[in-house]
Amino acid sequence: MIVSNGDGVPRNCLRLMTPTVLVRAVGVVPRPPTARWVLLFSRRGVGGMAGKTMNENHIRAISSTLAFLDKALCDFEQWADGYQAQGVLYREENRLPPKARDAIRAEIHRIRAILAEMHDRLGLAVKTEDVATSIWAWCWTAMAPIEELEARHLRAYGEVAPKYRVYLDSQSAQLAECLREIATVASRYRPAPPPAGGARRSAPPAVPPDRKSHGETPKG
């Protein structure tokens, strides 16, 4: 049974009409298309509709959010494979049993299947982070709080005992020096900046990250 909207146009046909066709068929100007309409038209293959309602800002916002999600999945995946960080002042305890790891992997696969479908349909941008650049940026970001471990900065929390002033200043300086050295090494492998008004030059290979999956210990 076909139900009409009172203007002689079946309701099931209205759902498949573009705004222009609706004006011709019904004689009224339709309301702006909602997200539900956009999704419906994209599924039905109505050409041009998605391009008119999904601008670059929409795509950029969606891409950024989902790239953030996908990056978190990379951490989940390493933990599901048994990885646990073992530092001096920072450690991870991976107590996930095999059954839980399998369940997490299954959900990761489901999420990535959704992300792949959205990438293909919406033309989402892929965010690529250069490892050398990430190391370089992190080192310089951490430099300021490390240098504030000096006794003169710690006075804001109370007077530092004399026997610790020289010690803290020395240790802070050594830590900052090590970070600067790491940043210097990483900077040698950062991609070259794109030339003004031209295409981006090919980047040298990035330094392999220290963090490994499957619980492997980085080789020295």
**19 & 48 share domain:** yes
pLDDT, tens digit, 9 for 90 and up, residues 158-183: 999 999 999 999 999 999 999 999 99
- Parent domain of 34: 11-53
Answer yes or no: is 16 within a domain. Answer: yes
Answer yes or no: is 194 within a domain. Answer: no
pLDDT, tens digit, 9 for 90 and up, residues 79-137: 999 999 999 999 999 999 999 999 999 999 999 999 999 999 999 999 999 999 999 99
Q: Whole-model pTM? A: 0.62
**83 & 41 share domain:** no
pLDDT, tens digit, 9 for 90 and up, residues 57-70: 999 999 999 999 99
**82 & 140 share domain:** no
Nearest of 39, 53, 62 to residue 125 by alpha carbon: 62
Structural contact between residues 22 and 30, judged by C-beta atoms closer than 8 angstroms: yes
Answer yes or no: is 88 within a domain. Answer: yes
pLDDT for 194: 73
Last residue of a domain, one of 93, 122, 151: 122
Answer yes or no: is 110 within a domain. Answer: yes
**62 & 79 share domain:** yes
Answer yes or no: is 206 within a domain. Answer: no
Examine the pLDDT at 138 and tell me if it is beyond 60: yes
Structure token digits, residue 4: 């009409």
Examine the pLDDT at 211 and tell me if it is beyond 60: no
% the chain with pLDDT above 90? 61
- Position with higher pLDDT, 144 vs 54: 144
Answer yes or no: is 87 within a domain. Answer: yes
**37 & 60 share domain:** no
Residues of 119-150 as b/e, b for ≥16 C-beta within 10 angstroms? beebebeeeeebbbbebbeebeeeeeebeeeb
pLDDT for 197: 58
